[in-house]
Structure 1
Amino acid sequence: MTPAARLQATLDLYAELARSERTADAVLSAWLRGKRRLDEPTRGAILDRLHALLRHHARLGWWIDRHGRRDTPRTRIIAWLVLGEGLKPEQIRRLFTGAPLAPAPLSEAEHGLMLKLQGAAMDSAAMPEEVRLECPPWALAPLRARFGAEFAAEMAALLAPPPLDLRVNALKAERAAMLTEFQGLGLPAHPLTRTAHGLRLAERLSLARVPGLKTGALEIQDEGSQLVARLVEAQPGERVVDFCAGAGGKTLAIAAQMGNKGRLIACDVSEGRLKRCAERARRAGLQNAEMRLLSGETDRWVKRHKGSFDRVLVDAPCSGTGTWRRNPDARWRAPEEQGLESLVALQARILASAARLVKPGGRLVYATCALLGEENEAQVAAFLAAHPAFSVVPLSVAAPELTDSAHPEYLMLTPARHGTDGFFAAVLTRADLPAAGA
């Protein structure tokens, strides 16, 4: 594929994202399924450019507005070629030729924008800080409140592409053996220090080159997500629920903790996500996991199984602010569509309902991949006030080896401080004798 054809492919994808309500991951997955003949370097070049456009969304828009041009996928790509890739006018004109599979020639307005941007840098002293740091208006105040003097550093870390973290499936492999296999293939990897089964690749590469992904010996899972699953501390033979299982990343990690013994139920309101979870469970060799489709957080199944489970994980739907480095489009989507208040109310309902499943003496873990206090500490505080039968298990007790959390009682991870996605998790326990009215 020629450079011009690659650019047109990127433009097509970018335009699809602009008009679609689906996430970038969903759009890209559908596109890749239809482009199986593309070689890996071509795919990589297209996707790298697309992700660069998403990571520079606010800044590109600021420059386009500054020069009075209409904000379109084409003007954004032109601005990126100048500001991000440093291409000269003649190089850009050679890409926009109108030839088969190439973008149409530059319009007069587009040509003018290209010339005006020559010599400029992506970041400008005239930019508001929130634009330079790609922080959407709805999240500015709560993130400033969260990080204080560290706001700029944390936002900058959320702009960096994430590393590739993997979890070794203890049911099928050992970490030492997997590291040896990586070394034999010339793929630099090192063990993650906070997790017993995690490893990190030192460079980005095609997933087709990663041994163990197809066999279920390895799963792609951020170190922070692995740590949330670790806090569940499920034991062989126990009864465990992953209440918001999604596609099952934490479900698989919990099942491995249990050594395929006991009963693990993965719940979700999305049949599609549960099907994906079931596929991954089969590949991972899980025999103790079952899927449960719920109609909502108050599904009758919850009432029928009240007080029946040793461990319950609530990985609640959230703003996703902690995942912006791997989902750069997410910061410009939710939760504006429904409002942060509505999202926090939903989390509270889910947590309260899932808590009914915990038996006396059992453990409840509430987690999000969010960085906002409203979704995390404040959510837990409100739950505890309304449910006196539950109390906090401090992180020093639940996981004494985790000594670098950004919160004294809960697990709190941030990209700048820990090199992970942003995660929050609170470990709670239900009293052996539930308080009246709990």
Structure 2
Amino acid sequence: MTPAARLQAATELLDRIVTAARDQGAAADTLIARWFAERRYAGSKDRRAIRELVYEAIRLLGVRPESGRAGILALARARPELVELFDGTPYGPPAIDPAEPVAEAGLMPKWLGLALKRSGLANAEQAALLQRAPLDLRVNNLKADRDAVAAEIPGSEPLPFLPDGLRIPSDLPVEQLPSFRDGRIEVQDAGSQLVSLASAARRGQHVVDLCAGGGGKTLALAAMMANHGSILACDVDRGRLQRLPPRAERGGVTIAETRLLNPGQEFHQLADQAGRADVVLIDAPCSGTGTWRRNPEARWRLSPDRLAKLGETQRYLMRLGAELVRSGGALIYVVCSLLDDEGASQAEAFLKAYPGWKAEPLLLGAGTAHGPGLRLTPLADSTDGFFVARMIRP
């Protein structure tokens, strides 16, 4: 593909991403994968160049642009060398009309920046939310030793605060590695590994992973438990939950059982679990402000109304989780958000509503004490942004 054709492809892709963000559709990485699957003729260099253009434009624009074209024009304004590619050649973008709309560059919507400031994140911390993310692995200690895996992967570096964590070159094709195919490694951000450690799950325990999704934390918990005990992995999203069994099989995990839940019927469907769990992990649906390094278009999807609805879901899940924890057991509340409305304030409200429950201090080797829990940020900890609290039932 010519440089002009790549730029036009990026424009078309960005247009799809803008539409999906407006309509709460598929994430950018999913849309990009689908787009390339439909265009097998695009070579690896073309794919890389197009993807970089798309994500550069997304990071540049704090507010959702009117169209993909308006977004790419903003990128061309920031990178003047791109302007000459708008030459109207076949497969390239049409010439620029001086009167056509150009999106405005910015970090994020003003209301969201103010909310992050109220949550204690200054300008430098906010800017770091949109830097490129590193690539981290969790070595599956059920099958492998971290040092042995590190020796197989050039450029890998052990993460000092994680027993099984490795940071590897970001352009490494992980799924082609033998250690990935045979289940010795999983892609998992260092922050996600750390909040899993906050569970302190042990061999022989019964754990409920209430929002398991594709199962990344379920697998980490199983490794912490040495594959002894039981884990009930639940979610309301059938597609995401179906990814867990094959991942568990590849990783040699035999203690995880899945349960698909129907929205609004979770208390009834989990009645058999009431008061049984040693640990309940709630990785709650949230705004994802801590994951903008990987999903920068997520900030285009947010609004005060959506944030309020997420807050209702988080409180509902904490009430549900509290019913499942045994006496003396632990409720682990996690959000990949740095907004206090989703993190510290939610944990504080829970502790007020449930007398006798206590927040247990967390010492994970990284993070900063924040409210009743711990906060991880890209700038301070070189991880995705998380809030995690460990609360003990009396």
Deviations 1:104-154 (A, max 9, x none): 3444645xx89xxxxxxx9xxxx9xxx64x12233222211122xx51101
Q: Aligned letter for 2:297?
A: D
Cα distance in 1 for partners of 2:247, 2:38 equals 22
* Secondary structure of 1:427's aligned partner: strand
Mapped contact 1:298–1:353 kept (Cα < 8 A) = no
Matching residue of 1:97 = 88
With over 3 angstroms needed to count, the CA separation of the structure-2 counterparts of 1:295 and 1:78, relative to structure 1, is same
Shift of 1:294: 0.8
State yes or no: 1:156 paired with 2:138: no
With over 3 angstroms needed to count, the CA separation of the structure-2 counterparts of 1:73 and 1:363, relative to structure 1, is same
- What's the RMSD between the two structures over aligned residues? 2.4
Shift of 1:78: 2.8
With over 3 angstroms needed to count, the CA separation of the structure-2 counterparts of 1:404 and 1:24, relative to structure 1, is closer
Shift of 1:44: 1.0
- Segments of structure 2 that go 5 or more residues without pairing to the other structure are none
Mapped contact 2:199–2:279 kept (Cα < 8 A) = yes
Cα distance in 2 for partners of 1:203, 1:76 equals 26
Shift of 1:354: 1.3
In percent, how many aligned pairs have the same letter? 40
Shift of 1:410: 1.8
Matching residue of 1:277 = 244
Cα distance in 2 for partners of 1:347, 1:412 equals 17
> 5 Å matches for 1:14-413?
14-20=14-20, 21-58=25-62, 71-84=66-79, 86-87=80-81, 89=83, 91-93=84-86, 96-99=87-90, 101-107=91-97, 109=99, 132=106, 134-147=107-120, 151-183=122-154, 188-208=155-175, 210-296=177-263, 298-299=265-266, 300-336=268-304, 338-395=305-362, 399=363, 401-402=364-365, 404-407=367-370, 410-413=373-376
Deviations 1:144-182 (A, max 9, x none): 1122xx511011101211000111111121110111001
Shift of 1:271: 0.5
* Number of residue-to-residue matches in the alignment: 389
Pick aligned residue for 2:388 from 414, 418, 425: 425
Q: Aligned letter for 1:74?
A: R
With over 3 angstroms needed to count, the CA separation of the structure-2 counterparts of 1:42 and 1:211, relative to structure 1, is farther
Deviations 1:250-304 (A, max 9, x none): 1111111112211111100110110112222222221111111111365212222
Shift of 1:208: 4.6
With over 3 angstroms needed to count, the CA separation of the structure-2 counterparts of 1:209 and 1:44, relative to structure 1, is farther
Q: Aligned letter for 1:175?
A: R
Structure number with higher relative contact order (C-alpha < 8 Å, ≥ 6 residues apart):
2
Shift of 1:206: 3.5
* Secondary structure of 1:15's aligned partner: helix
Cα distance in 2 for partners of 1:293, 1:237 equals 24
Cα distance in 2 for partners of 1:403, 1:367 equals 15
Mapped contact 1:406–1:413 kept (Cα < 8 A) = no
Mapped contact 1:60–1:80 kept (Cα < 8 A) = no
* Secondary structure of 1:416's aligned partner: helix
Shift of 1:391: 1.3
Shift of 1:60: 9.8
* Secondary structure of 1:216's aligned partner: coil
- Segments of structure 1 that go 5 or more residues without pairing to the other structure are 62-70, 115-121, 432-438
* Secondary structure of 1:359's aligned partner: strand
Mapped contact 2:63–2:109 kept (Cα < 8 A) = no
Mapped contact 2:64–2:300 kept (Cα < 8 A) = no
Deviations 1:281-330 (A, max 9, x none): 22222111111111136521222221111111011111111111111000
Q: Aligned letter for 2:93?
A: P
Q: Aligned letter for 1:7?
A: L
With over 3 angstroms needed to count, the CA separation of the structure-2 counterparts of 1:88 and 1:384, relative to structure 1, is closer
With over 3 angstroms needed to count, the CA separation of the structure-2 counterparts of 1:288 and 1:59, relative to structure 1, is closer
Where has structure 1 moved over 4 Å in runs of 4 or more? 208-211
Deviations 1:84-112 (A, max 9, x none): 3x3065x324xx3331x3333444645xx
Segment of structure 1 superposing worse, 261-270 or 8-17? 8-17
Shift of 1:237: 1.6
Q: TM-score, normalized by length of structure 1?
A: 0.83
* Secondary structure of 1:259's aligned partner: coil
With over 3 angstroms needed to count, the CA separation of the structure-2 counterparts of 1:138 and 1:410, relative to structure 1, is same
Segment of structure 1 superposing worse, 323-332 or 205-214? 205-214
Q: TM-score, normalized by length of structure 2?
A: 0.91
